[in-house]
Chains A and B, each alone.
Chain A
Amino acid sequence: MKIQKLVVIAIASMMCWIPALRADVRVLDIQGTAAFKDQSQWKPVKKGQALKEGTKISTGAHSSVRLKIDNATVTIRQLSMVRINRNLATGSATSTNLGLRYGKINARIDRIKKLRTDFRISTPVATSSVRGTEEEVSFGPGRGMIVQVLHGEVGASNRFGTSNIVRRGMKFHVKQGSPRPSPLLLSTWNKFITRVDPDDLTDDEKQMLERFGDDVWLNFEDPQFTSNSRAKAKVNLQIIFP
């Protein structure tokens, strides 16, 4: 009777305990030259190969490697070195951390219902965390870390505790030793369709008016410029605040 009880308890406890498993990291395809290092020696990467936690992957010039990590597809671009820092999976959650030492990677993470995905890319200066999105992350000692979001949104935080939510069209850029990233919309500042100027005068026109007064405008013979006719126009504005 005692043995039967023990067996029932053992089975019940085994059913309750969901172990953290090592998730599958598999090489989908390779272009050019790529190598991996799991212990001491660098060896060529092969298609279909499974890679363990702690493995370093490196790509040569004109080369790339595509990896499948659970619900994520990661492309390691040319001249990059990546380490699989962590890769765990349970029935309801996955946790992956890739360490980008240098180079560029593209990560596309598909959102799966009821599966909590924690996918991080760490560099020596900052970390980006992704949930159901596509991003491109690059790092180099000169330029620092750059995160560009292609779809969805990404959380990015640096070593000094500054964190941002990065969306499509924004760029998270932080340099080594810098406590703050550059403004997220810096890359779009000069990409405008039109400008709205106060008093309907551009900076150059204002400067000219200050220098020459009304002389220029009064001596203008073109009626298009001298007439005070006004017209109404419908304008749609899309204002993005960082």
Chain B
Amino acid sequence: MKHILAAGIMILLFLLPLPAQDMQQMQFIHLLADKPAASFSDAVTFMTIAAGMQPKDFNFNLQVLKNRKIARGMDYHAAAPLRRGALSLMIARHLDLSDSLLYMVFGTGRYAYRACVAEGIMDHEGSEWDILSGGELIEIMNKTIERAGER
């Protein structure tokens, strides 16, 4: 009986921080929506959420994404403005986009962006050098998560 009670208490203790973590995620999205320019750190946090994990600090999140090969070779500063090309590359790796031959060959942000346009995740009117706003990042990640669910 004592064991069952102890196990119950342990489960409860593990579950207690969940609502607080969820509200942190909401807080992150609300702050992001008002940002005129999203940062690389914002994209890393969002990609961690999209990958189904609970985000922590920048270094932890980046390492998680690097382990999953989503952010392989990406050593931007956390506060660096987020460019469409860098985000496209992370998305293309996360969704494993393999329909674009040029992306398969070169694997650069430029062709990852074209692959994302072909998938309907990004708009064709732009370039890989565009700096994205917080609202745009939310919009693109919305499509990305939708696409990931369809696969």
**A residues in contact (CB < 8 Å) with B:** 33, 35, 42, 44, 58, 60-62, 78-79, 81, 101-104, 140-143
What total count of A-B pairs have CB within 8 Å? 64
Residues of B within 8 A of A58 (CB): 26, 29-30
Indicate whether A62 sits within 8 Å of B139 (C-beta atoms), given known contacts A81-B33, A142-B123. Answer: no
Residues of A within 8 A of B135 (CB): 102, 140-142
Residues of A within 8 A of B141 (CB): 61, 79
Across the interface, A44 reaches (CB within 8 A) one of B19, B49, B140, namely B19
Roughly how many angstroms separate A225 CA and B48 CA in the complex, as a whole number?
A: 60
Residues of A within 8 A of B146 (CB): 78
**Residue among B33, B122, B139, B146 with the most chain A CB within 10 A?**
B139
Across the interface, A79 reaches (CB within 8 A) one of B123, B133, B145, namely B145
Other A-B pairs, 11, CB within 8 Å; known A44-B23, A58-B29, A61-B50: A35-B23, A35-B26, A60-B22, A60-B29, A61-B49, A79-B145, A103-B142, A140-B142, A142-B135, A142-B140, A143-B123
Contact A33–B22 (Cβ < 8 Å): yes
CB distance from A203 to the nearest CB of B (A): 24
Across the interface, B139 reaches (CB within 8 A) one of A33, A35, A44, A141, namely A141
Contact A42–B136 (Cβ < 8 Å): no
* 16 CB-based A-B contacts, threshold 8 Å: A33-B23, A35-B23, A44-B22, A58-B30, A60-B25, A61-B25, A78-B142, A78-B146, A79-B138, A101-B33, A103-B138, A140-B136, A140-B138, A140-B139, A141-B133, A143-B123
Contact A60–B139 (Cβ < 8 Å): no
Contact A79–B23 (Cβ < 8 Å): no
Contact B22–A102 (Cβ < 8 Å): no
Is B67's beta carbon under 8 Å from chain A? no
Roughly how many angstroms separate A104 CA and B142 CA in the complex, as a whole number?
A: 9
Roughly how many angstroms separate A42 CA and B138 CA in the complex, as a whole number?
A: 19
Kindly identify, within residues 125 to 151 of chain B, every residue whose CB is under 8 Å from any CB belonging to chain A.
133, 135-136, 138-142, 145-146, 149
Across the interface, B136 reaches (CB within 8 A) one of A61, A79, A104, A141, namely A141
Residues of B within 8 A of A35 (CB): 23, 26
Smallest Cβ-Cβ distance to A139: which chain B residue: B139
Residues of B within 8 A of A62 (CB): 52, 145, 149
Indicate whether A78 sits within 8 Å of B139 (C-beta atoms), given known contacts A60-B25, A141-B133. Answer: no
CB distance from B42 to the nearest CB of A (A): 13
Contact B123–A42 (Cβ < 8 Å): no
**Residue among A103, A104, A140 with the most chain B CB within 10 A?**
A140
Smallest Cβ-Cβ distance to A37: which chain B residue: B30
Contact B139–A142 (Cβ < 8 Å): yes
Contact A79–B25 (Cβ < 8 Å): no
Residues of B within 8 A of A44 (CB): 19, 22-23
Smallest Cβ-Cβ distance to B21: which chain A residue: A33
Roughly how many angstroms separate A157 CA and B138 CA in the complex, as a whole number?
A: 25
Residues of B within 8 A of A81 (CB): 30, 33
Contact A142–B136 (Cβ < 8 Å): yes
Roughly how many angstroms separate A103 CA and B29 CA in the complex, as a whole number?
A: 12
Residues of B within 8 A of A142 (CB): 122-123, 135-136, 139-140
Roughly how many angstroms separate A102 CA and B25 CA in the complex, as a whole number?
A: 16
Provide the B15-56 mask, 1 if CB < 8 A to any CB of A, else 0: 000010011011101100100000000000000011010000
Residues of B within 8 A of A143 (CB): 123, 139
The 8 closest A-B pairs by CB, nearest first: A140-B139, A141-B135, A33-B22, A79-B142, A35-B26, A142-B136, A61-B49, A60-B25
